[in-house]
Structure 1
Amino acid sequence: MLTYHPDPNLNQRNVLGTSLSSCCFDPITGYYRNGFCHTGQQDVGQHTVCAKMTSEFLNFSAKTGNDLITPVPEYGFPGLKPGDYWCICALRWLDALDHEMAPKIKLEACHESLLDLVDIETLKKYAL
């Protein structure tokens, strides 16, 4: 289980340029498992996209090598179901976008670094 170190996460911003909002606390999400899509040097997967899970996306993700459905209790991972919110990897979301499987996202909770990979207009099309 990863531990949260608050110092690198202070004052992080979202794709709208305001303070990063929480993504989800039930289940507790984020690379740091603090409910936010904070990122830092250790987060090589860039868990920066706050997405609302759909069965289509969950199945797509499982088929492409990242099973988010099956619980992994030893890591405190409950498994996800449609309707859950989760900080997913930016490249996974872009892959899903390319395959027309991208889930809707909470813009206020998506980390600003996502803008290095995709433009704001595309993100707004998928906003909740």
Structure 2
Amino acid sequence: MAQSYQLSPQKNVLGQPIEACGLDPLTGFYRDGCCNTGPNDLGVHTVCCIVTETFLAASARLGNDLSTPMPHYGFPGLKPGDRWCVCAARWLQVQQAGAACPVVLEATHEATLEIVPFDILLQFAVIPETLH
């Protein structure tokens, strides 16, 4: 199904063009594989995470079950190792509970910085496999 809109180029927390977060499962508020955001994304799904079992369990305890599939929302349910665009405030909430998961800075939208301080993101950043 072709989308009839085109998002303008968006930037990551490093000020560079945003990179894809996850294609399997297909993530992003717009289900475009990127943590792009816009006025309809009220949850600010902008943090590109590599979810862990600890993160998923803590998130569920805090009221955000990311493991259970919800096909009617196009949500497959996550398992450890999946890359997913998580709501910035929710990621911060889980981090404050001591269960943060790794973050891919190159794929995390700059809007995240309005909610999560960069120094906290940096503490959980994964090192890119290749330098660009």
* TM-score of the two chains, using structure 2 as the length reference: 0.88
CA distance in 1, matches of 2:4, 2:62: 31
| Alignment CA distance shift 1:4-1:126 (3 Å) | farther
Corresponding residue for residue 56 of structure 2: 58
Aligned twin of 2:89: 91
1:28, distance to aligned residue in structure 2 (A):
0.1
- The equivalent position to 2:98 in structure 1, one of 97, 100, 118, is 100
The question of 1:80 aligning with 2:90 is answered no
CA drift of 1:67 comes to 1.0
**Equivalent runs, 1:8-23 vs 2, <5 Å:** 9-23=7-21
Q: Give the corresponding residue for 2:129.
A: none
Tell me whether 61-70 or 31-40 shows the greater mean CA deviation: 61-70
Moved more, 105-114 or 66-75: 66-75
- Report if the CA contact (8 A) 1:93-1:102 is conserved: yes
User: How far off its partner does 1:85 sit?
Assistant: 0.5
Runs of 4+ in 1 over 6 A off after TM superposition: none
Alignment of 1:38-49 (within 5 A): 38-49=36-47
Q: Percent identity?
A: 49
For 1:20-39, list aligned pairs within 5 A: 20-39=18-37
* Contact 1:25-1:35 at 8 Å conserved across structures: yes
Contact 2:88 2:116 survives alignment (8 Å): no
Separation in 1, partners of 2:16, 2:91: 22
Runs of 5+ consecutive residues of structure 2 not aligned to the other structure: 127-132
Amino acid at match of 1:124: L
Gapped runs of 5+ residues in structure 1?
Answer: none
Contact 1:21 1:109 in 2 (8 A): yes
Aligned-residue RMSD, C-alpha: 1.5
